[in-house]
Structure 1
């Protein structure tokens, strides 16, 4: 069975490898085979760091356990840890934009109905 393994070692970098596995291969077995591929040797440290976190891999964007079986054509994705908390980043962006010019706080005509 053929699957695709994808890992992003850094921003705007993608390592995509096609693997041929046995029919009843598990996610954990696929990751072990993926780590031995020559295309990944330059990024092994980033991969090991990504594999240390919880919920570090999924199939087609859904988290899976290492014991789950793969199906032909699956896309196994290995996720790296977030560098910035998304809620904190959004607050910082909003703080920089100011609240008088954008979104819900934009200037409206006098007497207009909210939302129009």
Structure 2
């Protein structure tokens, strides 16, 4: 039976990443790989029974827990967003003001507005 090299990743906080590289037998599923990685024990906050909180992805694309893995797959455990990205962008834009941000922030000397 052949072995597969699988990577399991989880980021509990910004700039903190847990990464496990595993050599598993062919035919292993996503859930089996997560259990064998030890991340579910090391990070007890991961509750995969609630799919609305934690999403499991392979290379950034959502997958099911019984998906059979292939060579060099990277499993990512995605935590829920704490801030809506649209709201965060709007707040950043309001902080820095319109003169320093956006498409028209850099103007050439003597150019018309917007160019």
Check whether TM > 0.5: yes
Question: Alignment RMSD, CA only?
Answer: 2.4
Q: Which residue of 2 aligns with 1:6?
A: 9
In the alignment, does 2:47 pair up with 1:44? Answer: no
Higher share in helix = 1
Gaps of 5+ in 1: none
State the alpha-carbon separation in 1 of the partners of residues 72 and 27 from structure 2: 13
Taking the aligned partners of 2:34 and 2:102, their CA distance within structure 1 comes to 44
Structure (1/2) with the larger strand percentage: 2
What pairs up with 1:25-104 in 2 under 5 angstroms? 25-34=28-37, 37=38, 41-45=41-45, 47-48=46-47, 51=48, 52-54=50-52, 56-104=55-103
What TM-score do you get using the length of structure 1 for normalisation? 0.76
After TM superposition, the score normalised by the length of structure 2 is 0.76
Aligned length: 109
